[in-house]
Amino acid sequence: MEEYEIEPVRRRPWLRGWRLVLALILTALLGAFVVLWSIRVRLASDYIDRELARRGVQATYDVKRIGFGRQIFENLVIGDPRRPDATARHVEVEILLGWRGPRVGLITARGVRMRGRVQGGRVSLGQIDRLLPPPTGLPFRLPDQRVDVADAAIVLDTPAGRLALGLAGRGNLSDGFRGRLAGVARELRLGDCTLEEPRADVAVRVDSLRPSLAGPATLASVRCGNDLAVAAPAFALQATLAPALDEWRGATTFRAAALRSGPHRTQDVSGRLTFAGDAGRTAGQVEVHSGAAAVGAFSAGRTAFGGSYALSLRRGDLALNGDVRAEGLTVRDSQVRGITGALRGTEGTPLGPIAMALAAAVERAARAGGEAAARLRLVNGRGFGAFRLEQLRFAGRSGVRVAGVGGQGLTYSWPGGKLRLDGEFALSGGGFPDARFRLRQARPGAPIEGVGRIAPMAAGGARLALAELRFAASPGGGTRFETAMRLDGPFHGGRVTGLTLPLRGRFGRGGFVLGEGCVAAGFEALEVEGLRLGRSRLPLCPTGHALGWQEPGGRLQAGAELRGPRFAGRLGQAPVALAAERMRVDL
């Protein structure tokens, strides 16, 4: 058997050298890593300080941890230490590594306090702005950033006033954030409107850049110039804002201690409304119920409204359009006294009993009140306003009924306090004669045109029948009217039967005037003490500037002169004939 000798394998010198070099390199790297890791806080601080200096930002902070995935800072102060733009007690920054490099994941913040201001529709946070990406010129958008925030607050100086906000919550600020937001201000001014002591504490959620708010909000008052004021309004709010936070939509229930619009006042207001718009114009549907209300010369115990509205916080404008109901509706005493005073001024004349009955009917209707319903249109602007009642229905507790059909109904405007009538109106019951009027008035305070028909009236032994009553504009801006009457009635010491008199006059700015020229009057019979006169024709002329007149705020006056009258009748049992050149009668 042949023997072989096995020669041992020899290690190559160059391989042993590379292994040694690799071991030395790894040892050096490990040593460098250990050194760097041991001084990572100082390195990070140096880098941060250089970056802050490069951006011109004053800041102090304590570094508590610098790691691969998490950085922790405490006692952060950014800006002038005497008035910092931001402070934070504790901030944690999560760093995520990816193919595109590191990025910020979750920011956890506690005890954050910030100051900022809103200018030109943009938010500025002082020196913090220098740490943010350069502006793109686009409207404001919530950042795409996950946060976990508690005990955070920001004070914003805005064109409307200073606003303080407190925030707590977690999630992506642009989509998925859930938390709570509290807001308070001493006063905010939006255009002509002032919001006193607004407060809110609402739940916040953000979906697709749109923040949603749900919760209570209150104010001490809202005032828009001298025309609109709301006392102690409170809301249960559900609203969604646009991504730029400059538009809103939603719904809310509300209540207010009182509301004033122009000269109108309402107590204990409550209801629900929807809204969509911005500070220039917000509109929606509204349902309102109230307690005592005063609108112009009218007062009511309870009111209700349902319809649409439009409001401009910037200009202080308000518009309403809907159906209104009022219970316990009455008329101001001063308005009633003006009407009843004129009617009672005829006491002692043949017209007196009927006028007194009408005065009593007016007082009963005003005192008893009633229920009314109408279609309401209201516009309130800077220093002016008006409301219009269409399809008016009034049922008084005294039995009176008023209805408006067609046309634009009744319009009341302020500050002038002018009334406008347009349409067809019907009156009945409650001691009033059945009457229908078809009237047209171009604008509040303008002359009235139209016709009216009034049923005969009887009271206290008197009877009055009127022909068709016609209204027309007069050159002076007032309203002329024309009709004819037939009157039977008593007077002091006598009675007249079949008194006929054409009536022409005017009313408006200059008061009331009846019979500015001579008319042909007549009667069927006249009794004065023991004197009885038969049918007579009387040329009747005014002794003053009219047969009857009443200046604004004055009392009713009258004076007439009979020219060339001729009478025939009996005095007791004896026949008599009377003639005169002139005979004067004054009231």
| Distance, CA of 196 to CA of 189 (rounded, Å) | 9
Is the model's pLDDT at 398 over the cut of 90?
yes
Sign for the pseudo-dihedral over CA of 118, 122, 123, 129:
negative
528 pLDDT band, cuts 50/70/90, is confident
Instruction: Read off the tokens for 287.
Output: 């349902």
Q: What H or E segment, with its residue span, contains residue 504?
A: strand 494-508
- Summarize the confidence of residues 443-462 as an average pLDDT: 89
**Cα-to-chain-centroid distance, residue 478:** 33
- Summarize the confidence of residues 487-509 as an average pLDDT: 88
Lowest mean pLDDT among 387-396, 425-434, 468-477, 517-526: 468-477
Is the model's pLDDT at 463 over the cut of 50?
yes
Please indicate whether residue 13 or residue 293 has the higher confidence score (pLDDT): 293
| Distance, CA of 59 to CA of 79 (rounded, Å) | 6
| Distance, CA of 415 to CA of 237 (rounded, Å) | 34
Please indicate whether residue 48 or residue 38 has the higher confidence score (pLDDT): 48
| Residue 136 pLDDT | 64
Q: Are 160 and 245 in contact (CB under 8 A)?
A: no
Q: Are 85 and 79 in contact (CB under 8 A)?
A: yes
| Residue 298 pLDDT | 82
- Summarize the confidence of residues 243-249 as an average pLDDT: 87
pLDDT tens readout for residues 124-169: 888 888 877 676 666 677 888 889 999 999 999 988 899 999 999 9
23 pLDDT band, cuts 50/70/90, is low
| Distance, CA of 350 to CA of 492 (rounded, Å) | 9
Burial 57-71 (b: 16+ CB within 10 A, else e): bebebeeeebeeeeb
pLDDT tens readout for residues 291-301: 999 877 788 99
Please indicate whether residue 227 or residue 322 has the higher confidence score (pLDDT): 322
| Residue 409 pLDDT | 85
- Summarize the confidence of residues 508-529 as an average pLDDT: 85
- Summarize the confidence of residues 326-340 as an average pLDDT: 83
3-state secondary structure of 202: strand
| Residue 168 pLDDT | 94
Is the model's pLDDT at 47 over the cut of 60?
no
- The residue written with tokens 């760093």 in the block is 95
| Residue 547 pLDDT | 85
Is the model's pLDDT at 513 over the cut of 70?
yes
Please indicate whether residue 202 or residue 141 has the higher confidence score (pLDDT): 202
User: How does the average pLDDT of the chain come out, rounded?
Assistant: 83
Please indicate whether residue 119 or residue 482 has the higher confidence score (pLDDT): 482
DSSP 241-288: E-TTSS-EEEEEEEEEEEEEETTEEEEEEEEEEEEEE-SS-EEEEEEE
Lowest mean pLDDT among 141-145, 193-197, 279-283: 141-145
3-state secondary structure of 512: strand
- The residue written with tokens 């919550």 in the block is 169
Instruction: Read off the tokens for 500.
Output: 């006929």
| Distance, CA of 211 to CA of 244 (rounded, Å) | 10
3-state secondary structure of 354: helix
Give percent of the chain with pLDDT exceeding 70: 87
| Distance, CA of 295 to CA of 301 (rounded, Å) | 12
Is the model's pLDDT at 170 over the cut of 90?
yes
454 pLDDT band, cuts 50/70/90, is very high
| Distance, CA of 392 to CA of 424 (rounded, Å) | 10
222 pLDDT band, cuts 50/70/90, is very high
| Distance, CA of 124 to CA of 486 (rounded, Å) | 83
Backbone φ, ψ for residue 138 (5° rounding) = -85, 160
Is the model's pLDDT at 1 over the cut of 50?
no
- Summarize the confidence of residues 342-347 as an average pLDDT: 81
Backbone φ, ψ for residue 178 (5° rounding) = -135, 130
Lowest mean pLDDT among 355-369, 458-472, 506-520: 506-520
Please indicate whether residue 540 or residue 104 has the higher confidence score (pLDDT): 540
- The residue written with tokens 């595109």 in the block is 100
Q: Are 152 and 182 in contact (CB under 8 A)?
A: no
Give percent of the chain with pLDDT exceeding 90: 36
Is the model's pLDDT at 582 over the cut of 50?
yes
Is the model's pLDDT at 305 over the cut of 60?
yes
| Residue 200 pLDDT | 93
Q: Are 455 and 468 in contact (CB under 8 A)?
A: no
| Distance, CA of 366 to CA of 355 (rounded, Å) | 16
- Summarize the confidence of residues 457-464 as an average pLDDT: 93
Is the model's pLDDT at 46 over the cut of 60?
no
| Residue 495 pLDDT | 92
Radius of gyration from C-alpha coordinates of the chain: 44
Which of 199-213, 528-542, 563-577 has the highest average model confidence (pLDDT)? 199-213
Q: Say if residue 462 is exposed, middle or buried (CB neighbours under 10 Å; 0-12, 13-18, 19+).
A: buried
**Cis peptide leading into 415, omega within 30 of 0?**
yes
